[in-house]
Amino acid sequence: MTTFDALRPGKPDSILALMAAFREDPRENKIDLGVGVYKDASGNTPVMRAVKAAERRIVEEQTTKVYTGLAGDPAFGEALSGLVLGGRAPRERLSMVATPGGTGAVRQGMELMRLARPDCTVWLSDPTWPNHPAIVDHVGLKRRSYRYFDADTGAVDFAGMMESLGEVVAGDAVVLHGCCHNPTGANLALDQWRAVAELIAERGAVAFVDIAYQGFGDGLDADAAGLRLLVDRVPEALIAVSCSKNFGIYRERTGLLIALSANAKVTQGALASLNRLNYSFPPDHGARVVQTILGDDALRADWAGELEEVRGSMLGLREQLARELRDRIGSDRFGFLAEHRGMFSLLGATPEQVETMRREHGVYMVGDSRMNIAGLNATTVPRLAEAIVAAGV
């Protein structure tokens, strides 16, 4: 037997399988609610105006493609951390490295936890983004889940969450979604953020915030309000930031890992070493686009305006779907869909009902009934409502 004969196939990715099934479906009226990308009313994922303008400027003005530093261009970190934190954390306590996307930031953050506390437990919401537990397992850390979602109400089970987190001990990491919780769409209120922050600080744990959708929920500042409140109260935090969604630069793999600690110089050195070991110098094009936009008042205003249009579109689709369902079933049982924020919601359908909607109506969503609201438009919303009712959800 040769060396690579010992390899075993990886666990199939349900979303990739769903994408393949959707592509192979010949029906013209099929609806893709699985893939986590924003689509406009025409089903396209456009390049934002400010991104195009920034790229033109970069092409005209850039004079070299030499490496940036191991942590990426410091100006990128300063600009993006300012957008996320709003100046709430003392700069002397922050360390930052550019990463290949938000996923890269999560991975580097977990690697840092393994270096600092190899025996720690990482606490994840139930449910959470599937890559969270996969990354925790891959780096060799222990993990536990905390209660988060109440399927009956479609809201956060905050009492259950706090009860679960009552078992957190010093050195553990508690992973929180900064806004637009994936997959549920149900978010913490500010007073709940405050209570969680106090618990984490009291227990001596590390707050690990994954913020991938800032601007998709209630607005740029409102979506970061809980995170900013948190960093005011905890001594240590890790923040994984993604630019894929709110700047629409998915394929550029642009992210940032921010660490809040007492000794930022030591933490910065550890983060730079992790970058060196994993990919040396981080990609720069997307980071330079973001840096250019945030550093120019006109580009920033245009970007923020277009982002607000995107946010408004998703809120409108949520309200339309909740209304269509209310009209069909005569109750507000699905009213939580209008209350959720971001791209995703958990519908509350069984795997069998999800399969019925796919087979009989061409509606594709993940088996746990997570659906991407941004995959809808005004025409497909009534068809989805019909499919939901017909499947007996």
Among all residues, which ones are annotated catalytic?
129, 210, 212, 245
Please answer whether residues 68 and 252 qualify as being in contact, where contact means their C-beta atoms are separated by less than 8 angstroms: no
Tokens linked to 23 = 């592509």
- Other C-beta atoms lying within 10 Å of the C-beta of residue 158: 17
Angle among Cα 29, 30, 35 to the nearest 5 degrees reads: 145
ω before 183 within 30° of 0 (cis)? Answer: yes
- Per DSSP, the three-state class of 72 is coil
CA-CA distance, 217 to 342, in Å (whole number)?
5
**CA proximity to 367, closest of 57, 39, 12, 15:** 15
Tokens linked to 161 = 């969450």
Longest dimension (CA), the chain: 64
What is the dihedral angle through the alpha carbons of 286, 288, 289, 291, rounded to the nearest 10 degrees? 120
Exposure b/e, 19-47, CB count within 10 A at least 16 = b: eeebeeeeeeebbbbbbbebbeeeeeeee
